[in-house]
Structure 1
């Protein structure tokens, strides 16, 4: 892959488009064409050029002929430091910013009408389906990794945690943001597949419809799983064959029986009629705990809810929902301390034994606040 010089671009220092645990993205301009671009740089200690080159290859493969993944422009090298930067298509603000803006402007908060959600989901599922056909799994789909263009085109971005299924050695690591992460990844299943992305898309769909994260926890794997099963019901080997043999199953199933739900409560969120039967069929299919029963992106698009919807209509519906005036982007605020559930010492000890990955954040001391 050709590596150009950063002299090809004028990089802004004050216009940050986003930042995460591994890198920062700023707005820039391609000097020859005047085209606005997004430039990603990795931050120490994650500034491994091999990692950025891998992300560049994934982005190139995922976006080629796929209008619903942000476009790849090239890799460039900083003349002063030698560090690599990734130049990408500038595709507008994030879905997170879109939802925040709605919450400030409308009395209904950040809830999005079903017709608009349908248009968003058609584009996201189409983009994901194409990516999955090429053997690429994103692994970190969430509102901040979805971009919304002025023309209503919706694009997936940030493939920093993506992987090629065919070449990634097993066991796969549990990558992603906890409250959008699929149960099998949280449970430590070593051979998950592209349906971890469709779970994340289900979480995004629910957040647009309800105005809040459906499984808001972000504490540790066990609490995150309990939050999910508190809405969708506790699985067992009858509903999810092999569930009891997963690495964290023993710990997860020690949740007090009187708190366990055997049946899904998802439908109770939409008793007010805000979601049609067809829309609920899609949401329920995307949020199946058993990955073998979960919809793939391609299968979801075949459901009646998406009938008579095409690229033009989907973009037009999203564009109609965009604000007519520019607003201040959402502020960066410190995360509030989460209220943790009381986990008995024996369960905590079992959890420490069940997994050794410190990256999951499960070695934090639990306290009963």
Structure 2
């Protein structure tokens, strides 16, 4: 695979930076421009792979969704290039950088970024289904960006695919970042009492940033 990508796209592998049940992610560099990218290479599941590529591509200009660069899929490989986020995942940041949790203003901005990304996806009529800190990346300017949208789909109550489910998992992220009032609001057991993502965004706008 490495030789093929080197030959076809002039890309050089630097390191493996992540992976999951659907594929692996590599840090790579373009040989001529020296531009660094992230490359996601899928395991063989054509339906999910195609869906993720199409979904990521449709949001490529949104500031809080990882920017899609190029579909590099061939008969042998399925995957795509995306922007490289040097601070890694939000879960990794929380685990490795205790000072981050001490900075309320920074935590609040990250939370606003996440909500802004979720809002864009919900407004497109899609449920994320895989909203978690592992799937939120932190860019070079410390902007939080959603990634891994391969499971996103239109709501289906019979399959329990609802916007309320995303709100519940958003509440878990609020809890991890220390915003317990929002965590309780979003993670209510009665899903009908959970706010919409638009209501969450409005409440966040009115939250004092601690300055």
Q: TM-score, normalised by structure 2?
A: 0.84
Deviations 1:60-108 (A, max 9, x none): 22x2431100011121135xx62211211112311122112224xx6xx
Match of 2:11 in 1: 10
1:205 matched to 2:174? The reply is yes
Match of 1:100 in 2: 95
Q: 1:53 to 1:206 in 2, by over 3 A?
A: same
Match of 2:165 in 1: 196
Measure the CA separation in 1 of the matches of 2:41 and 2:24. Answer: 6
- Structure 1, unaligned stretches of length 5 or more? 173-189, 210-278, 318-369
SS at match of 1:136: coil
SS at match of 1:52: helix
Contact 2:27 2:37 in 1 (8 A): yes
Q: 1:308 to 1:290 in 2, by over 3 A?
A: closer
Cα offset, 1:8, TM superposition: 2.1
SS at match of 1:39: strand
Measure the CA separation in 1 of the matches of 2:125 and 2:32. Answer: 34
Match of 1:60 in 2: 57
SS at match of 1:124: helix
Match of 1:40 in 2: 40
Contact 1:27 1:36 in 2 (8 A): yes
1:117 matched to 2:123? The reply is no
Q: 1:194 to 1:33 in 2, by over 3 A?
A: farther
Measure the CA separation in 2 of the matches of 1:164 and 1:17. Answer: 30
Cα offset, 1:170, TM superposition: 6.3
Give 1:129-168 correspondences, 5 Å limit.
129-165=119-155
Q: What's the C-alpha RMSD, in Å, of the aligned pairs?
A: 2.6
User: Which structure dedicates a bigger proportion of its chain to strand?
Assistant: 2
Cα offset, 1:49, TM superposition: 2.8
Contact 1:49 1:83 in 2 (8 A): no
- Provide the aligned length of Structure 1 versus Structure 2: 204
Cα offset, 1:113, TM superposition: 4.1
- Structure 2, unaligned stretches of length 5 or more? none
Contact 1:58 1:136 in 2 (8 A): no
Cα offset, 1:57, TM superposition: 0.8
SS at match of 2:79: strand
1:282 matched to 2:161? The reply is no
Give 1:192-341 correspondences, 5 Å limit.
192-209=161-178, 279-303=179-203, 305-307=204-206
**Which of residues 83, 91, 108 is equivalent to 2:85?**
91
Highest Rg: 1 or 2?
1
SS at match of 1:15: strand
